[in-house]
Structure formats: C-alpha cells, structure tokens
Structure 1
C-alpha cells in the first residue's frame, strides 16, 4: 500500500550528500564544489524513462522536500467525541456555512451576484511558499502557558517550520524562523531522529530536513522529463558545470529553493553549497511500526486503521493517548480519534501544504461537494459504518453541477473553471483525494468516513437524485469522465 511503502522509508536513491567548501553565492562560473554530476545523470535518466506516477514517487523519494498536510477546522461542539464514535455520525466542522445560504434548489435571481467576495488564490503544493507567507511560523501556534519556558515554545515553532518547509534558508521566505532552527539545532536533530527517524542537517546559512518518501506529493505540472531537467541542472550547479536553465519549470523550482537568484544588476547567481546540500542523500533506514505510524500521522491528514498492517494497528491502538500528548508537545497538533482511525489537526490552520477548508474556487467547491456527497451517502445511525462507501459517478456530476450553479457566480469562482466543467471536476476531485476525503477505486471513487466531519449533521436526509443535475443512482457513467 502506498502509505505503508512511504512510511517504512525503504528504497534505494542514487546520489550522495556533499557540502561544497567554496560556500556562499557565486557566479555561474564558480569552481566545482563537489563531484555530484554523475549521480545526477543517473537519477535523471531513471526519471526520464519512468512512467509519470513512478517519476513522481522517485523524485519525492530522492528529495523529500514536501510539506506536512493536516485538517485545520475545529469541530462543533468542541468537546471530543468518544473514541468509538464513527466519523459518519460524529460532530462536524461547519467551516463553509457562510456559503450555504440558500435551499438546495433555490433558483438564482439577477441580484444574487451582488456583494460576492473577490476570488482568492487557490492553494497548491509547490517547492517554496511565496514571500507573502514569510513569518507565518514565527509565533507559537498556541499561547505559552505560565509554566512553559520560552525555549520550549521556540523549539516547537522551529519544528513546525521544518515539518512544513523542509528547506529553510537565512534569506528565503522563512528566514525569520531560521535563527530558531540554528539555536536549537542539536535538540531538533535528536528529536526528529527519535520521534520520526528523519535526518536534520543545519549549516551556517540553511537547514534541510530529510523526510521519508511519500507518494502523492508532486511538483505541480511536472512530468518525467521536467524532473530529469531539474535534477541535471541541480547536479551541474553543485558540480561547477554550466547548467541548462532553459526549462522554465526547473528554473522556477531552483529559484524557489534559493539555489538560483539574481544579483543587483539582474545577473544570475548560484549558491553552489546549497545545491550540493540538496543532492539526494542516502535513504533512511527501514522503519518499524512505531516510526511508520508516526510518519503517517504527522505528514498526512488522516490515518485509517484498515490501511495499517496488523502490527501497526496493534502498536497504535493502546498508545493513542500517549502519542497524542507527544505530538502535541512536539508539534502543537491536536489528535482526533474516531472508530475508523486518527487525524491530527492543526489549530493554527497553517501546518499544511493544502488547505481544506480554505479560500479560493477549488477549496470552496470541494468542501460543498463533499458535504453533498456525505448527505447522500452517509450510513444512517444504527447502520454499519464502513471506512468508505462507493460514490455513484452520476452523483458527483449532479452534486458538483448543483453547487456550481448555487454558488459559482455569487462567490466569485474562477471563470475559467466555470467555463471548463471537466477540468473543474478533475481538480476538485484531486484536491479531495489529496486531503484523503475520497480515494480512487479503479474508474470510480470512494467516499471516506472522515469526509463526514465537514457535512452538517442536523439537516434531514435529502432525497436521492433530487438535485437539478442528478441522475438515477443506477445510471453509472463508465466514460472517461468517470475516471476522475
């Protein structure tokens, strides 16, 4: 299973770690800092020849520069439900209630667009956060108690920064947090090694956290050839060779990593020491049940018990309370335990590379869609509560059509998406899958139990197929659109 393969940390990655002695930023003609190019050529060849999904996984395994991903919405009521409560029937987080202002079959009038909020940027995973996000992690995510020393708050803040952004430099978008990482480098390295089996390297001007491979954390828009170009350019920069920087996607990533920049006159400069530090390191040792489960908990939105091996379930179930306390102290994450599994929530709504609930067209549409799907498919109280249920393909099309008609124009959704419904459908489902609220099942999709935490619990059960765009549930569409 993909999650299990990631968290065990097994796998071979070509390349080695090297820190150049020249250091600092220099012109593109600077002297070689390490002999890393042959390994980069080998990895680039493997990436170029790999199928798309295999290339995504190979690149993530080699570099591991992905951010953690967590739910952020608080539940209503705030009191935790018993651990044996199903997500299907537990409390909900009504973060999108402001959008649900009309009955399901309300027909939009001419004045509905008045006062619609301006569209917001859609969050997507990427190599680095834009400068506007600088300093998000400078303050602790929860108030410091009177008995808690300042050093504990600083360590937690630094650990959260590294988990969200495994590469932190002294001049990048998260430079404000770099002094905390430097100050507590020894403690952080020991803690990440003991709790997660990760390696932390801290140099004078940068810090890098080496994570285990994680399927599904791709660079947006990258194909096998794009990955190969990026790896070759990085290897050339680290080895003092003239890099090929004509590939726009690769160049954008190198700039995001602060490997390539511009001087005061607009000329290109390169940090060869950082390029060498980013070379793929030796793979992490294979992990047992303890590290496997912890990695899944701190990197993914939700962990379902039926996806764990028997040994992993046996390790987690009696330790849920102790692990909750450990991860709350280390990372400020709050544990939500349900019958189907465990989710770690971030009360600060910042320790995630995707946001759901969130702003923007995709996040709003995805949340409204998943609410409709849960309302249609949620097991009734007293019925068996499976970890996932099959979604009729027609229900996806009908529910997405309904929420788009009800909210698209007045909420200021992207005109491009409103004009291209197949692309809209694909990207909304990709976001929900990325947050692990739905999962692919061949040509169909499964609705997972944690999706119910975002669906109103008090509304009456809707009549199946009652939406404007709905078709009978038996009329499944096996065409290409059904693949998601």
Structure 2
C-alpha cells in the first residue's frame, strides 16, 4: 500500500509540543470555556480553550486557501492532517484453519474463501453490526501462585473501555447531537484511560468537550473525507467557522452527520498538529488504521521493528481493540472478529465489493507463485488479464446477481472502480500504468491445489501467455 512520510505524524508546531500537559503525550487539558481553571474531572480531557471567533475565522480562511491551491491527493492528505477524522480500515473474513507456522506466505497460507465469497451470500446480504466479543480469558492455573481472578466489575470496565475505543477508532468525531451521541457518557467515563492508551500506543490526542469527543488521528495518504475535492474541503473549512456560509451539498451532508458544536469546530480549525513519532508508533498507526502492512512498504527502521516485535504489537491491539492478527512472511494484517471496525467492507454487499473480491480470487488463481520459499510480496498483472477476468465474472454473475446496470454497460468504469477498491484495501497496487497483485489477496482465493485451470473463461488469455508473463 502507498506509504508517505506523514504516516509518522506531522512535525510539531514551533514553540510547543501540541500537548496540553507535559505528563503524557497527547493528554490535553480540558477547557470547554475560557475560565476552565476550575474544571471538574469530567472536563480534564477537553479541547484547548475555545478560540475567539476571529481566530477561528482567520484559521478557516488560511486553511481554505491551502485546500483550494492543492491537487486532490494533497487535499486529502491535508484534510487527514487537519481533521484526522477518517475511520479505521480492516479486511473482513478470518480463515477457519489453524494459524500456520511462522514464515508462511499469504500466497500459500490459510484462506477465508469459503466464508467470504459472494457465491455463498444471498443477494440481500447485509453485514450485521454487533458488539465486539470480549477477549477470551487466559487460563490462570490452579496452583498457589496463580493470579487472583478479576472481579466482575473490572471485566465490565475493560469491555466498556474497549467499546469506547473501538467507536473512536471508527468515528473519531462523536457529538452529542450526532448519530453516536449516546456513547458520549461511556467515553467520558473512560476518558483518562482512553487518553492514556491512545497517546501511548498511537500518539493520538483525545479531547473531550461539553458536547463532543474528538480523537485526533495522524495523517495517512488517501484517507481524506469521502466525496470532497479541494474546493469542497475549502468550503468545509469556511463552514466550520461560519455555519451560515454557502457550502455544496456534500459539505452540508457531512456537517449534518458531524453536527459539530462550536467548541469542536474551533478545535478542528485551530488545534496544533500531532508531534512527530518514532518507527514503533508509526508502525502501530499503520496496523491500527490500514488493512495490511507489508514489510516491503516500510522504512528500514519500521521494518526492523515489525520483524522484531510483531507478536507483542498485535497482542496490544488484541487487548485494547479486540483485533486478531495474521502474521505472514510478507507482513501483518489485523482483523476484526466482529467484522465491523472498517470504513470499507470487503467482503461486503453490492456490485463493486462482490466483483472486486471475485476479481482478486481469479487473479490469484492465475498468478499465484508456485514456489512458496521464493514467492514475492506482489506479482505483475498482465493488463489484458484484468480485462479478460472482469469480462468472465461479469458474464458469470452480472445478470444473475443483479449487479448495477451502469457498471455492466461500462466495463472501463467497472475496472477502474474495482481496482481502486482492491487498492484501498491493500490487495492490489498501481505500478505506473500497470497493476500489482499483492500477496494478501490470496487469503480470498481457494487453496492453491483446488483452483480451476488458468484461462478458463471466454475472455481470458491463453494459459501459456499468462504463465510467460507471471515468470
């Protein structure tokens, strides 16, 4: 997946650390009002004191100017830097087989094919949101040295902390009038522990005001706000400072969802950037926010840390967020057993998700490296194979599965959007004008020994041609 230096965090603002308290990274002094010196315990993790209206307007104007001058990719990155409001993203579906031996490649490891393929889902399938299961209790033994069992109220507190943490990872802006406002008391109850854990584990800053909670995330490329272009971002910045300012429909829809109170709007416009972090925290951010972390995508220091500390790092996320890990020769993916902690669903319902998954499955069957010991983290996809495979699956499933007629009539757009979804989920990557199929895609294909013959559809290239290119 595309990497960017800003994944490690924006540089610290001159003259300060961006933290309201020197005792711990990311812990902010709550100041829901200018005279917050006497704030109570529930307010001690709020945003910095409300900026005067003039300061917010000036900040909005400066930010809007930067957005307007940026290209789309730079605008997305600036939005992730300024707002940090993107949701976590993880792959769905977990293999039922036992975890393989260390060093196993995704190309030849356990697959989730039988539980995730669109062929095994009804047309009206919708993912069911449910509370995440609590982490399984560890055996304590029965000897005289065993640790005392945790009281029931301690276990309940741990579950509440995890529920609040998962919500903030999925919805970094929670407002009293927004769709998840009922969770504000839970977040407030665990504010101190949440702020400490987010700051220590990810270098994120949690702020809590009278009517909002905000988890300020670090910027990642490609994680801007959906539906907004540079002009839309500029309009959003102006609307945050002046709700009466004219704004396009996409911005109004976003503000209707956020429903930001005045103190949150000021925080979004004037909060200092997060301080820079080292390789350990940079790797954790990628694990927590992105579907797959490949070793080849990391800087040398980050790669060395993940190679050395992958089991320990994944255990931290299992404890804090209830995520499980696939540790493979090529890298690490964190999965959500509840299949919900993601802003994109793959596997998922709908034309694009189903077609993208089938495309990945068939490309793996055609291009999977034979030698497990020398399998690369990604292989080049012959361009004609993409078109042929997409044509095959459209013939096989398009009409019977009720796929979107617009896509069926415009295979160029279908190809573009299906590849884009695979890219955003870490299963494919652009390489100039070509595309690479990445090893984690194999977790959605049948095991190597059971795949069908190469080039079996009427649009597919002959097997000899595919074999020649894959070599």
TM-score normalised by length of structure 2:
0.83
Which residue pairs with 1:9 in the alignment? 9
Q: Aligned match of 1:391 in 376, 381, 384?
A: 381
Tell me the equivalent position of 1:198: 204
Q: Check if 1:432 corresponds to 2:422.
A: yes
1:86 maps onto 2:105 in alignment: yes
Aligned length: 424
Structure 2 SS opposite 1:292: helix
Aligned to 1:448: 438
Return closer, same or farther for 1:13/1:19 CA change in 2, 3 Å cut-off: farther
Q: In the alignment, is the contact (CA less than 8 A) between 2:107 and 2:372 conserved in 1? A: no
Q: Which has the higher helix share?
A: 2
Matches for 1:157-236 after TM superposition, within 5 Å: 157-236=163-242
Q: Describe the shift of the 1:280–1:368 C-alpha distance in structure 2 as closer, same or farther (beyond 3 A).
A: farther
Q: Which whole-Å CA distance do the structure 2 matches of 1:282 and 1:83 have between them?
A: 42
Distance 2:122 2:201 in 1: 46
By how many angstroms is 1:117 displaced? 2.3
In the TM superposition, residue 42 of structure 1 has moved relative to its aligned partner by 1.1
Specify the SS of the correspondent of 2:215.
strand
Distance 2:324 2:116 in 1: 23
The C-alpha deviation readout for 1:207-260, integer Å capped at 9, x for no partner, is 0000000111132332211111111111224xxxx4223x1111111111113x
Aligned to 2:350: 360
Q: What secondary structure, in the 3-state scheme, does the structure 1 residue paired with 2:238 have?
A: helix
Counterparts of 1:67 and 1:361 in 2: how far apart (Å)? 22
Q: Which moved more, 1:162-171 or 1:310-319?
A: 310-319
Q: What is the alpha-carbon distance in structure 2 between the residues aligned to residue 190 and residue 386 of structure 1?
A: 39
1:450 to partner: Cα distance: 0.5
Q: Does structure 2 retain, via aligned residues, the 8 Å contact 1:394–1:473? A: no
Q: For residue 423 of structure 1, what is the aligned residue in structure 2?
A: 413
Task: Indicate whether 1:36 and 2:56 are aligned.
Answer: yes
Deviations 1:258-278 (A, max 9, x none): 13xxxxxxxxxxx32332232
Gaps of 5+ in 2: 21-30, 36-50, 138-148, 467-471
Alpha-carbon distance between aligned partners in 1 of 2:332 and 2:118, rounded to the nearest angstrom = 28
Structure 2: distance between partners of 1:118 and 1:344: 28
Give 3-state SS (helix, strand or coil) of 2:242's partner: helix
Give the 3-state SS of the residue equivalent to 2:430 in structure 1.
Answer: strand
C-alpha RMSD over aligned residues: 2.9
2: CA distance between counterparts of 1:321 and 1:97?
26
1:34-433 counterparts in 2 under 5 A?
35-77=55-97, 79-95=98-114, 99-100=118-119, 117-118=123-124, 136=129, 139-142=131-134, 145=137, 147=150, 149-237=155-243, 242-245=244-247, 247-259=248-260, 271-382=261-372, 384-433=374-423
Aligned-partner Cα distance in 2 for 1:384–1:391: 18
Q: Deviations over 1:444-484 (max 9, x none)?
A: 110000110110005545444332112458999xxxxxxxx
- Please give the alpha-carbon distance, in whole angstroms, between the structure 2 residues aligned to 1:144 and 1:411: 38
Give yes or no for contact 1:69–1:352 (8 Å, CA) kept in 2: yes
Task: Find the aligned partners of 2:308 and 2:452 in 1 and give their Cα distance.
Answer: 39
Secondary structure class of the residue paired with 1:219: coil
Give the TM-score, by structure 1 length: 0.81
1:188–1:99 distance in 2 versus 1, CA, 3 Å: closer
C-alpha separation between the residues in 2 aligned to 1:344 and 1:98? Answer: 20
Distance 2:197 2:117 in 1: 41
* Aligned 8 A contact 2:389 2:457 in 1: yes
Name the CA shift for 1:310/1:471 in 2 (closer, same or farther; >3 Å): same
Contact 1:182–1:202 (8 Å) recurs in 2: yes
8 A Cα contact 1:72 1:349, kept in partner: yes
Return the alpha-carbon distance in structure 2 between the equivalents of residues 224 and 11 of structure 1.
23
CA separation of 1:74/1:274 partners in 2, compared to 1, >3 Å: closer, same or farther? same
Write the distance in 1 (CA, Å) between the matches of 2:333 and 2:268.
31
SS at match of 2:435: strand
Structure 1 residues 116 and 191, CA gap change in structure 2 (3 angstroms): closer
- Judge conservation of contact 1:91–1:453 (CA < 8 Å) in 2: yes
Contact 2:326 2:334 in 1 (8 A): yes
Residues in 2 aligned to 1:143 and 1:330: alpha-carbon distance in whole angstroms? 9
Find the aligned partners of 1:358 and 1:48 in 2 and give their Cα distance: 34
Residues 340, 449 of structure 1: 8 Å contact kept: yes
- 4+ runs deviating over 6 angstroms: 473-476
Which has the higher mean CA deviation after the structures are superposed, 402-411 or 156-165?
402-411
The alpha carbon displacement at 1:144 in A equals 6.8
DSSP 3-state at the match of 2:106: coil
- 1:346 and 1:44 map into 2 onto residues whose CA distance is 36
Counterparts of 2:270 and 2:465, CA distance in 1: 49
Structure 1 residue 140 displacement after superposition: 3.9
Q: Distance in 1 between matches of 2:270 and 2:359?
A: 40
Distance change >3 Å, CA 120–CA 314, structure 1 → 2: closer
